Amino acid sequence: MLLGALWGSSFLFTRFGVLEFGALPTAGVRVLIASLFLLPILLWRGLGPQLAQHWKKVFFVGVLNSAIPFACFAYALLSITTGLSAILNATVPLFGALIAWIWLKDRPGGLRILGLLIGFFGVALLAWDKASFKPDASGLSSGWAVLACLLATLCYGLAASYTKRYLGGLPALVTATGSQLGATVGLALPALWLWPERMPSATAWLSLVWVGVLCTGLAYILYFRLIENVGPARSLTVTFLVPVFAVIYGVLFLHEAVSAWMLFCAAIIICGTALSANLIRFRS
């Protein structure tokens, strides 16, 4: 519940930050703060040598699992609601299962394949209703925002399979910290190049501190502890909680509207995700 609440709030606070920082600086500041939070913990645990040994692969995971997705979601939140972006984020296990099937030859069973079809059907319905490539007054469009969210979830799925194949057995804290450092390196020049001319307000800075420390640094620790204690399959259930919290926060603090169609599509996506992640089983 705590992890779902934290990750759900990341969309809200990213929205507060991106309006003043812009997409790439928002992502860059987020991973920098997360790195500054996680690195002392890593060194205190004596895991620095392991990070130094595997830094190339871990840094690559950081670009794939943090730099690109965080920038994509920050960009998307300039033109779509936090609730919609969080619902699209719930497709991560769908892409993860599909990529594991193609790349790792981890062929899903019949029910999991059905789940993939159901989940992507829900995404198609939601995108068809919400995506428009006609620019608004600010020059942005919801269609590109939806595609950015789906690119982010695709990157998450790729990073999961890459981690399983090349970083198996590496302590979770090493992967978490190294990935944030790699994302920081990857985003440093774009973030500086697009840094806003006007210094962002204290509210924007505090929002990104919240996202960096709690929604990224602390959340990674909670997530990897969940995986260690209850396994990856049960840990994936947090995917169902994130959109719930994000929608609630959006309604309460941003006065965002939630349509019945959004909730209907979200239910289809979540059911498909549960089947594809093997979280729902039927007795014969």
One digit per residue, the tens of pLDDT, for the chain of length 284 reads 899 899 999 999 999 999 999 999 999 999 999 999 999 999 999 999 999 999 999 999 999 999 999 999 999 999 998 988 988 888 888 888 788 888 877 777 777 788 888 888 887 887 776 666 676 666 677 889 999 999 999 998 898 888 888 887 888 899 999 999 999 999 999 999 999 999 999 999 999 999 999 999 999 888 877 776 766 656 666 777 888 899 899 999 999 888 888 888 888 888 887 777 666 665 55
With respect to residue 281, please indicate whether it lies within any of the assigned structural domains.
Answer: no
With respect to residue 156, please indicate whether it lies within any of the assigned structural domains.
Answer: yes
C-alpha to C-alpha distance for 269 and 266, rounded to whole angstroms: 5
Nearest Cα to Cα of residue 181 among 54, 22, 7: 54
Per-residue pLDDT, 270: 84
> Nearest 5°: CA angle at 85, between 83 and 87?
70
The one-character DSSP state at 213 is: I
**b (16+ CB within 10 A) / e for 165-175:** eebeebebbbb
- 60 is in which domain, residue-wise? 2-276
With respect to residue 282, please indicate whether it lies within any of the assigned structural domains.
Answer: no
End-to-end, the C-alpha distance of the chain in Å comes to 32
Burial level of 40, CB count in 10 A (0-12/13-18/19+)?
Answer: exposed
With respect to residue 167, please indicate whether it lies within any of the assigned structural domains.
Answer: yes
| Token representation of residue 270 | 């979540």
Per-residue pLDDT, 157: 87
With respect to residue 283, please indicate whether it lies within any of the assigned structural domains.
Answer: no
* Residue 155 CB-half CA count within 13 A: 20
Counting the structural domains of the chain, the total is 1
